[in-house]
Amino acid sequence: MTYTYHINLDERGRFFADLRDIDGYTVYEIHAGDLDEGETSIFEDGFMRDTKDTEGLRSYLEGLKIIPFHSQIIHAA
């Protein structure tokens, strides 16, 4: 299955992206920067190296069974 990775906000230490299925529905959101106290991001936890690390994202979401194994994640145009 193929998913698209959309970076919606990446400025001044704030980051928001989402992963969408083939129908355009969001299956996962990523937030960093403006987090609540005690909250960590997928980057701080080491699952993604940086905001463009779709392989790390794929591996993380497969492990959580959010997306099927051997899925493909592509950057949105």
What residue ranges do the domains of the chain occupy? 2-75
pLDDT value at residue 38 = 73
pLDDT value at residue 73 = 97
pLDDT value at residue 36 = 67
Cα-based distances in Å from 69 to 31, 58, 62, 65: 23, 9, 6, 8
Per-residue pLDDT of the chain (77 residues; tens, 9 = 90+): 999 999 999 998 889 999 999 999 999 999 988 766 777 788 888 899 999 999 999 999 999 999 999 999 999 97
Q: 12 is written with which tokens?
A: 């001044």
pLDDT value at residue 48 = 93
Q: What per-residue string of b and e applies to 38-49 under the rule 16 or more CB within 10 Å gives b?
A: eeeebbeeebbe
